[in-house]
Chain A
């Protein structure tokens, strides 16, 4: 255990060229980043609970979360562990402790937030750059809300018989989702996400990492290109799945296609091909990402296996 819980040595010049990415974390450091991110976002969520909200109809003009806290975490620390921890903080501190746990719905929220944060964290190369922090803050909310819109629309289309034929239903759902998206992007994403992160992250940079025994993120050695590429791909895939979902949902509205018949290619023409192609692309990209991730984690595990006998117990799982 002593072997793996000792803080990794700071990136010495000799091993920098061998590993293009940031230094590998020990299992204790992964746990630290995870717990820190969880605790802080949990606390932020409790604070959010206290802040009053203005409701206009179903649209909440309020702070749905203080996004700057996890954005700073993923910008400064390893994005994977920080992004895994932050949404768990919300689940644990607010939902479980305050008795507001909603079962499967929590899983949905967790995954949305995790993906958003992870992508945002991989986009930040230098935590001192305001531009990258701004992008990160916006990306978190965009991904989160886009996914939640997809889930909501899926719920309607599964839950209601032939939802796209019910007059007025698809438009109203889309309208609601649209308003929600814009409000969340402005309030949670920019006002309480990007702007505070731009103010705080550069000040914390270089101060908070040594407290955990970590080296600050080095812009000269960014996340490996593969990882950043993966983030961009994921973003594209999410966007495409979003677009295809909307397209599939609204295709019935704009053109009166009538019933679903075997000769749909003639009826739906190019649009259907587009949806099919984007669906195939999404599956392909997801597969590639999954394989890549599995390979990477296997490699990491193998690398740790050479260090000590407790290689498979280092929290790589999950």
Chain B
């Protein structure tokens, strides 16, 4: 094994990306039927918009945060989410202060942030742990276009090939070009060189991918792909493996109960952010 990780190499980044894409996922919602997981998500994506009551929103937020914890979302995704939200809120707060906001501005922003954060957390809990093919089957069963699930399957298989090819092309470019004489101020020459290489690498890549796409599509069409994708029988066979059991129903029931409890709590201890 050769010595590596002296700095972040392209190879390492590539491996890291592949690891993210193909890692086994698990957790609370991963084992459930995808249709019910989507339903679960939709509850939390819609409900927060119906209230301005901070108590209700905080309760909903807590439920979603617990769900994220139970779904074993990775620290990277979670960290990015937290940093993004904190920065965004700080900046809006600063801008609001600049234009002469007061306490009501802060409260209004808290409401908005809680709503958006609840929805983001719900989507994380639902979809990060779910296998992409399972998710696309769930969407297909809800009459999403067949192209979506095809795209997922295709992408799943082509991703490593494409990344490998892109890397080869970029390496070829680097081999054929002379090293930079000077880096320039703040390394701007390096930035420009990297950007142009990136763009130029897409030229052969587009031609190669076009050839490969034609092969794939003609092979698919010979087997009647478009026909099967849209024929009811094809759909039925494809989705036959989706089975819901009592635990899925339980999931939705518990969720609805929790949402109702949140609203009851908000009714009992209201904390309203209003101008009045």
Q: Is the CB of A158 within 8 A of B147?
A: no
Q: Is the CB of B101 within 8 A of A168?
A: yes
CA A58 to CA B102, docked complex, whole Å: 21
Q: Is the CB of B227 within 8 A of A99?
A: no
Residues A160 and B95 in contact in the complex (CB < 8 Å), given A97-B132, A103-B126, A169-B101: no
Q: Is the CB of A211 within 8 A of B210?
A: yes
CA A46 to CA B202, docked complex, whole Å: 13
Most chain A C-beta atoms within 10 Å of own C-beta, residue among B42, B91, B120, B163: B91
What are the residues of chain B within 8 A of A159 when measuring CB–CB? 49, 111-112, 115-116
CA A315 to CA B98, docked complex, whole Å: 53
Is A307's CB within 8 Å of the partner chain B? no
Question: Which segment of A121-129, A170-178, A234-242, A272-280 sits at the interface?
Answer: A170-178
Is B250's CB within 8 Å of the partner chain A? no
Residues A204 and B214 in contact in the complex (CB < 8 Å), given A39-B158, A169-B105, A172-B98: no
Q: Is the CB of A96 within 8 A of B158?
A: no
The interface size bin for chain B is: 35 or more
What 0/1 pattern do residues 94 to 123 of B give for CB contact below 8 A with A?
A: 111111111011001101100110011011
Q: Is the CB of A101 within 8 A of B227?
A: no
What are the residues of chain B within 8 A of A31 when measuring CB–CB? 217, 220-221, 225-226
Closest Cβ–Cβ distance, residue B93 to chain A (whole Å): 8
Q: Is the CB of B45 within 8 A of A168?
A: no
Q: Is the CB of B213 within 8 A of A36?
A: yes
Task: Give B contacts to A, CB under 8 Å.
Answer: 13, 17, 20-21, 25, 41-42, 45, 49, 52, 74, 77, 87-88, 90-92, 94-102, 104-105, 108-109, 111-112, 115-116, 119-120, 122-123, 126-129, 132, 135-136, 145, 147-148, 151-152, 154-156, 158-159, 162-163, 166, 195, 198-199, 202-203, 205-207, 209-211, 213-214, 216-218, 220-222, 224-227, 230-231, 273-275
Task: Give A contacts to B, CB under 8 Å.
Answer: 1, 5, 27-28, 31-32, 34-36, 38-40, 42-44, 46-47, 49-50, 55, 57-58, 66, 68-69, 72, 84, 88-89, 91-93, 96-105, 155-156, 158-163, 165-169, 171-173, 175-176, 191-192, 196, 199-200, 203-204, 207-208, 211-213, 310, 313-315, 317-318
